[in-house]
């Protein structure tokens, strides 16, 4: 079975953008229009032989096609994402039977300055185009995915969508229903029960332009993985994952000038920011189908292990282990993420920092379990192998923490690998591909960790 490759996904986006540009100047028979349309239909037909529908669109500025996310897109893909966003198009579904005539008429509609999401939907209806429609009728995640390797990426994307939708509802003055987030959580938990390290690589994706959404999903993944490492039951995993995804939801009610300030906050601003924990708990408490202990974890995720945190009035309150799990996950993602006022810390150094504050800010037992889960070379660490290749750690080894699964990104001659290959340093039967000899700063090697994680 042929999988939908990152290269084909990117080429599809580029050809669609080229078609949108050319249809405004030339008729359909002109080579400038006909050639990209023919190539585009050929790629889509190949994809549609594997599945009845293809989903693509934009979530918080990130273009996606099926399980492929383009966090650092080329100019054409970025331009298509901007075009779809400007038209209010969040997602598209392309079905089997799509023709080059369908694509030409669709590109023509998108090329018009006056087109909106509403007029685009009307135009598709009037043109009788059935193989291209707005939105995604069914979730992109689930057991129907044939490409097993793309399931985690799809799940990550759907989690981003869910958090974005919930925040959008709150900003419109509405309390969202919990069913949307519960559907995503059920899928994330199912993946983690099979292997709690499955999603860890995606938790190292950093989208600095959409920090709130990205951070929320990463904390949800890390909290879920730690809860699974601890052997918690399915219901506890669900609630821990939900608490991680929603832990910062109260920031929707913080003044945007404070929330987005590109510098450290003043003491007065910090007092306002601290209110996000209790505001978040209020929101989650009002959501249907969400367990009350999730709201409790949202309230206490900054309370600290020694109860020196906030909100001050809740310091004497009893919080269960879920709250402390979310605090560990929140700390790790925050200190490994670039902010306008601080540089990111590399994964191994981040664990060292967490170890130093265990017993005071963080639960020492949970930090120890988190360190063990992440391994000696945590996911997201760039390493040099003894064969002189450079590789990115993408999954810890369940038994041998010095032999994780990696993606080789630079070959032994120092050349970037066009398509990073994933392998385990310790194979079955005791054989070993290579050993790690040192960690490497990705900035010095010009390695884009986001792209490597997704490809």
Nearest to 420 by CA among 391, 385, 380: 391
Confidence of residue 125 (pLDDT cuts 50, 70, 90): confident
Residue that wins the pLDDT comparison between 59 and 32: 32
pLDDT in the model for residue 388: 92
Q: What is the pLDDT of residue 427?
A: 62
- 147 exposed, middle or buried (CB, 10 Å; 0-12, 13-18, 19+)? middle
- The model's confidence at residue 146, banded by pLDDT at 50, 70 and 90, is very low
Predicted confidence (pLDDT) per residue in 343-389, tens digit: 678 888 999 999 999 999 999 999 999 999 988 888 888 999 999 99
Average pLDDT (44-57) is 85
pLDDT at 291 over 60: yes
Strand order through the sheet with 68-70: 68-70, 62-65, 53-59, 91-95, 132-134
| Model confidence at 140: pLDDT above 70 | no
- What pLDDT, on the 0 to 100 scale, is given for residue 231? 92
The pairs formed by 160-163 with CB atoms below 8 angstroms and a separation of 24 or more are: 160/59, 160/60, 160/62, 160/213, 160/214, 160/217, 161/59, 162/245, 163/213, 163/216, 163/217, 163/245, 163/246
Residue 455 — very low, low, confident or very high, per pLDDT cuts 50/70/90? low
Angle at 67 between CA 446 and CA 124, to 5 degrees: 120
Tokens of residue 444, six digits: 């010095």
Average pLDDT over residues 124-139: 78
* pLDDT higher than 80, residue 399: no
Task: State the pLDDT at residue 200.
Answer: 85
Domain 148-374 has CATH 1.25.40.850: no
For residue 358, the model assigns a pLDDT of 96
Q: Which of 108-117, 138-147, 148-157, 222-231 has the highest mean pLDDT?
A: 222-231
Is the pLDDT at 90 greater than 70? The verdict is yes
Mean pLDDT in the chain?
A: 85
Averaged pLDDT for residues 130-154: 57
Confidence of residue 401 (pLDDT cuts 50, 70, 90): low
Q: Cα 248 from chain centroid?
A: 16
Mean of the pLDDT values across residues 381-398?
87
Q: Is the pTM of this model over 0.75?
A: no
pLDDT digits (tens, 9 = 90+) for 216-245: 999 999 999 999 999 999 999 999 999 999
Where in the chain are the domains?
Answer: 6-134, 148-374, 382-454
Q: b/e string for 264-300 if b means 16 or more Cβ within 10 A?
A: eeeeebeeebbebbbbbbbbbeebeebbebbbbbbbb
pLDDT (0 to 100) of residue 134: 86
Decide if pLDDT at 312 tops 90: yes
Helices (H), 230-291: 234-246, 256-259, 267-273, 276-286
Provide, rounded to the nearest whole percent, the portion of the chain with pLDDT above 90: 39
What mean pLDDT comes out for the span 416-445? Answer: 81
Report percent pLDDT > 70 for the chain: 91
Closest by Cα among 369, 379, 280, 377 to 324? 369
pLDDT of residue 117: 87
- pLDDT confidence bin for 408, thresholds 50/70/90: very high
More confident: 184 or 301: 301
> What is residue 187's three-state secondary structure?
helix
Distance CA 17, CA 335 (A): 37
Place of tokens 């959409």: 210
Band of the pLDDT at 141, cuts 50, 70, 90? very low
The pLDDT value recorded for residue 145 is: 35
Confidence band, pLDDT 50/70/90 cuts, at residue 322: very high
- Could you report the per-residue pLDDT of 156-209, keeping only the tens digit for each? 888 888 888 898 889 888 998 888 898 889 888 988 887 778 788 888 877 766
């Amino acid at each position: 079975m042929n999988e939908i490759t990152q290269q084909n996904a990117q080429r599809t986006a580029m050809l669609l953008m080229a078609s949108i540009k050319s249809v405004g100047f030339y008729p359909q028979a002109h080579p400038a229009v006909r050639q990209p349309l023919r190539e585009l239909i050929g790629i889509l037909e190949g994809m549609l032989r594997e599945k009845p529908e293809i989903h693509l669109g934009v979530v918080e500025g990130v273009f996606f096609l099926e399980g492929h996310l383009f966090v650092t897109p080329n100019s054409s893909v970025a331009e298509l994402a901007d075009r779809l966003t400007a038209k209010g198009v969040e997602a598209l579904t392309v079905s089997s039977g799509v023709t080059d005539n369908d694509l030409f008429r669709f590109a023509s509609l998108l090329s018009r300055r006056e087109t909106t999401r509403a007029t685009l939907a009307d135009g598709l209806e009037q043109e009788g185009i059935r193989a291209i429609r707005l939105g995604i009728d069914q979730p992109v995640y689930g057991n129907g995915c044939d490409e097993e390797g793309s399931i985690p990426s799809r799940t990550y994307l759907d989690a981003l969508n869910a958090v974005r939708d919930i925040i959008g509802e709150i900003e419109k003055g509405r309390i969202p229903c919990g069913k949307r987030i519960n559907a995503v959580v059920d899928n994330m938990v199912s993946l983690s029960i099979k292997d709690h390290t499955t999603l860890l690589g995606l938790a190292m994706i950093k989208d600095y332009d959409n920090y709130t959404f990205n951070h929320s999903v990463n904390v949800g993944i890390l909290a879920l993985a730690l809860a699974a490492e601890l052997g918690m039951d399915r219901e506890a995993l669900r609630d821990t994952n939900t608490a991680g995804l929603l832990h910062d939801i109260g920031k929707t009610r913080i003044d945007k000038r404070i929330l987005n300030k590109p510098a450290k906050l003043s003491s007065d601003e910090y007092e306002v920011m601290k209110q996000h924990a209790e505001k978040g708990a209020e929101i989650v408490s009002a959501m249907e189908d969400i367990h009350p202990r999730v709201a409790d974890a949202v309230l206490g995720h900054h309370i600290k292990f020694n109860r020196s945190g906030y909100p001050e009035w809740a310091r004497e309150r009893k919080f269960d282990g879920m709250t402390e799990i979310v605090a560990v996950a929140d700390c790790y993602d925050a200190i490994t993420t670039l902010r306008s006022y601080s540089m990111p810390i590399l994964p191994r150094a981040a664990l060292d920092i967490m170890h130093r504050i265990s017993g005071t800010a963080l639960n020492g037992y949970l930090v120890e379990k988190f360190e063990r889960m992440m391994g000696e070379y945590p996911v997201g660490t760039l390493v040099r192998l003894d064969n002189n290749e450079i590789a990115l750690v993408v999954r810890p080894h369940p038994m041998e923490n010095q032999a994780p699964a990696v993606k080789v990104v630079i070959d032994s001659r120092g050349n970037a690998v066009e398509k990073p290959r994933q392998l385990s340093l310790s194979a079955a039967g005791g054989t070993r591909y290579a050993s790690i000899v040192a960690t490497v700063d990705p900035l010095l090697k010009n390695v884009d960790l986001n792209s490597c994680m997704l490809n």
